[in-house]
Amino acid sequence: MKKLLIGLGILAVLVGGSYAALAMFLSPERIKNTVLPTISDVLGRDVGINGDISISLFPTFGLKLEKLYVANPADLKGNMLEVEKATVAVAVLPLLKKELEIREFTLIEPKLSAVITKDGTANWTFEGLEGTTPTAEAGATEATPTELPLADLRINSIAIKDGTITYQDRMAGTSMNFTKANFSIKMPTLDATADIEGSALMDGQKLKGTLKLETPYRLMHGEEASLKLDASTPYADIIAEANLVYTAETTRPVFRADLTQINLAGDGFSTSGVGEFGIVWGNTRPEITANLNLGFLEVDSANVPSAAEGQAAPATATAEPIEWSNERIDFSGLNAFDAQASLKIDQIKADGRLIGPLNVALTVVDRRLVIALKRFDIFDGQTTGEVVLNTRTDIPSASIETHLTGLQIERALPDEAEPYGASGTIASHTKLTTKGHSVKAFVNNLNGVVDLTATQVGATKFDLEKTAELHLGALGPVVTKNVSDKTIAAIKQKLTTMAFSTVFKNGNGQTVIKFEGPVLAQGGEGIVNLPAADISLRMNPLLKANETRDIVLPFYIEGPLNAPEFKPDQDGITREVARQAARIGAQKLLGKALKKGDGKLGILGNILQDASNLQADETQTEGEADANAQQDPNPVKDLKKAFGSLLGK
């Protein structure tokens, strides 16, 4: 008994002495004068407290801080982190049994500002911690999982209240803002379920979610633990179930998540499937694997909210020229990890029409990104391709190659497609290369070819009036009044071939368009100038009225790439009328008529308007037209007959 009392006395002295020493070490003055400066030296940042500090030692070790801050790097103003109040409370006695019981850990009104500067530096990179991460030694072998340093962990409450997070990528010019962020964790024991809840406003739009992790003890000992996620975001509602495994090896920690179920549903789309995600640490870069297999994806653009419902409106084409950015692109992210990822979708229902399957693979290895479109079936056609971005060299380079065969035009066009509507089959091939440090450099260094060929093309809805107005402007109605139903029916006959080819050299694309068929022929050519972001094409559509007669109505497609205009070739149309008049012996009469007007287009309009009122005899021959011209020298009257006969009226 005496020995027991002596032992208890010694224990009381040791515990009391320890608490006395702890109280002296953790006084508010010592924290401000010694602890915070030491942390500042370690982080390479100013860390301080502008408010009060209070400490409790038993039965919980408690610490309350007011107005805690962590400064930004010297080249950025303000603080990276500010916390209005922080409270920590840990039970003392469980520590003697290697048990950690967090009674409370609360951050009230924390404000985190995450910034990537224009030179690519992140403000969450601490100078004092650089180079402190241990790496695997050469020849090291994989070790068994490390033992958990704690026998148990109990969390009564970990919470963030009314937090704010701002993210700015000044290189890319993007930002995100999270406000009213609230977050909580509760876990009675490691063998129980950890309940995590959170909510916030992301750029003013609400997101919230709950996560349940069953038996965290198993996960912390390298065994499988199950997870359930139920989240709502501005873009989609997510329900997922997964089995998690984390192996804390000394050289290569491994985390793996097997998604046994994932359901995604948002405005205008829904899908479900399975997948997997894994990450391995310990090498030069983390190795990430991610695979997602979706059985069916339904997309309905009619249900996507409009700008009036609070969503951003899609960008519309304007007459303003496109300006390519000369800002240096940050490719450093490709050096942060290596990755193998894939996306497979069995079938896609887009606005009521079925396409798919889709199979895409992504690979990142040593700063080289490859996106391989292994298969995409679309409207009876099949597409394959590959995009490669290589940043290993001093000047980053990129290439793209795609192949499309068998696409059915009629199935691809939306039901409301106007004014054409078409049938036929399309095949295409693209092979392009470029290099540079900016979007502007990529455009200026673009070289390669884009080819497209359509066969057996036919018009299924051909609206001549709208087509003529689109191509010829004010002359459209004049021309359409002189085209017979027989001619319109002929236009709908299938073209044998329609081909489009652009060869790019340093961003300038020499474009050639050709089409050939029983009724339509010829084509056009011109330049697609990517550096200047404009287009200039001259089209020469030739309409074969019969074996001996044809009409060419040339027009231009020109202007900025995002808003080109169709303009009639006034000189070309005038020459075409003269050519047709010459064919029936009325060239001199046309010359006299042109001398009477104020301008070429005005004269042509008057001539065509007069011709539109003519009901000529379809059996009139060119010889009869010549005879009539000699008998009656009235130029307008003869042009009425000539033009009316030409158009089959």
The structure tokens listed for 523 are: 């084509």
Say how far apart CA 66 and CA 69 lie, in whole Å: 9
pLDDT band at 146 (very low <50, low <70, confident <90, very high): very low
Asked if residue 406 has pLDDT above 90, the reply is: yes
Closest CA to 566 of 605, 535, 529: 535
In this predicted model, which residue has the larger pLDDT, 449 or 14? 449
510 and 645 together in one domain? no
The predicted pLDDT at position 476 comes to 58
The residues, ordered by sequence, that sit 6+ positions from 81 with a Cβ below 8 Å of its Cβ are 68, 69, 70, 110, 111, 112, 113
* Same domain as 168, residue 155: yes
Select from 274, 277, 276, 279 the least CA-distant residue to 247: 279
Q: How high is the pLDDT of residue 30?
A: 82
Predicted local confidence at residue 305, as pLDDT:
52
The amino acid at residue 161 is K
Q: Which residue has the tokens 């509760």?
A: 186
Based on the domain organization, do 466 and 609 belong to the same domain? no
Pairwise CA distance, residues 153 & 191, whole Å? 9
pLDDT, residue 414, reads 67
In a domain, 135, yes or no: no
Q: Are residues 482 and 584 in the same domain?
A: no
Q: Which tens digits make up the pLDDT trace of 417-439?
A: 555 567 889 999 999 999 999 99
Q: Does a structural domain hold residue 90?
A: yes
Note whether 51 and 196 are same-domain residues.
Answer: yes
* pLDDT for position 565: 86
Does 354 fall in a domain?
A: no
For residues 240 and 261, the answer to whether their CB atoms sit within 8 Å is: yes
The Cα–Cα gap between 20 and 440 comes to: 67
pLDDT at 642 > cutoff 50: no
- Among the ranges 134-148, 226-240, 419-433, 576-590, which has the highest mean pLDDT value? 226-240
Same domain for 549 and 492: yes
Does residue 630 surpass a pLDDT of 60? no
Quote the number of domains for the chain.
3
With respect to residue 27, please indicate whether it lies within any of the assigned structural domains: yes
Tokens read off for 407? 């696409």
Each residue of 232-273: pLDDT tens digit? Answer: 988 889 999 999 998 876 677 889 999 999 998 887 788 999
More confident site: 423 or 370: 370
Which residue is it, tokens 């320890």? 18
Determine the Cα–Cα distance for residues 292 and 276; give it in Å rounded to an integer. Answer: 7
Confidence of residue 36 (pLDDT cuts 50, 70, 90): confident
Question: Residue 65 has which token pair?
Answer: 């801080």
Ramachandran sector of residue 42 (left: φ over 0; alpha: ψ -120 to 50; beta: rest): alpha
Confidence at residue 281, expressed as pLDDT on a 0 to 100 scale: 85
CA–CA distance from 515 to each of 47, 453, 487, 528, 542 (Å)?
A: 72, 10, 18, 19, 10
The reply to whether 598 and 452 lie within a common domain is: no
Q: Are strands 79-91 and 555-560 parallel, antiparallel or unpaired?
A: unpaired
Q: Which of 23-32, 61-70, 149-158, 382-391 has the highest mean pLDDT?
A: 382-391
383 falls within a domain: no
Q: Tell me the average pLDDT of the chain.
A: 77
Single-letter amino acid code for the residue at 134: P
Tokens of 421: 């509507």
> What is the average per-residue pLDDT within 64-71?
92
Give the number of other Cβ atoms within 10 Å of residue 20's Cβ.
11
Give the Cα separation of 529 and 509 in Å (integer).
6
**Same domain, yes or no: 629 and 552:** no
Asked if pLDDT for residue 390 goes beyond 80, the answer is yes
Same domain, 524 and 584: no
Q: Is the peptide bond before 28 cis (omega within 30 degrees of 0)?
A: no
202-212: average pLDDT: 92
Q: Is residue 346 part of a domain?
A: no
Instruction: Please say which residue of 508, 538, 566 terminates a domain.
Output: 566
The two tokens of residue 230 are 């139920």
User: Looking at residue 210, what is its pLDDT?
Assistant: 96
Q: What are the residues whose beta carbons fall under 8 Å from the beta carbon of 365, sequence distance 6 or more?
A: 338
- Rounded to an integer, the average pLDDT of 382-406 is 96
In the chain, % of residues over pLDDT 90: 37
- Choose from 253-257, 301-305, 399-403 the range with maximum mean pLDDT: 399-403
If asked whether residues 562 and 636 sit together in one domain, one would say no
pTM recorded for the entire structure:
0.68
* Arithmetic mean of pLDDT, 176-200: 92
Last residue of a domain, one of 566, 584, 608: 566
Q: Which residue has the higher pLDDT, 74 or 611?
A: 74
Name the phi and psi angles at 577, rounded to 5. -65, -40
The reported pLDDT for the residue numbered 84 is: 94
The CA distance from 176 to 119, in Å, is 19
Cβ(382)–Cβ(404) under 8 Å?
yes
- Name the token pair of 370: 């490859």
- Pick the last residue of a domain from 566, 586, 620: 566
CA distance 539 to 514: 10
Q: Are residues 34 and 159 in the same domain?
A: yes
pLDDT score for 479: 56
Q: Which residue has the tokens 């958990």?
A: 148
Q: Which residue has the higher pLDDT, 268 or 224?
A: 224
Tell me the residue range of the domain where 484 lies: 402-566
What is the per-residue pLDDT for 603?
44
Could you say which DSSP state residue 315 is in? P
The answer to whether residue 272 is domain-embedded is no
CB within 8 A of 102, min separation 6: which ones?
89, 90, 153, 154, 155, 156, 157, 158
Query: Quick one: 510 and 597 in the same domain?
Result: no
User: Does 115 map to a domain?
Assistant: yes
Higher pLDDT: 548 or 186? It is 186
Give the model's pLDDT for residue 648: 37
pLDDT in tens, 312-368: 444 444 456 788 999 888 888 888 889 999 999 999 988 778 899 999 999 999 999
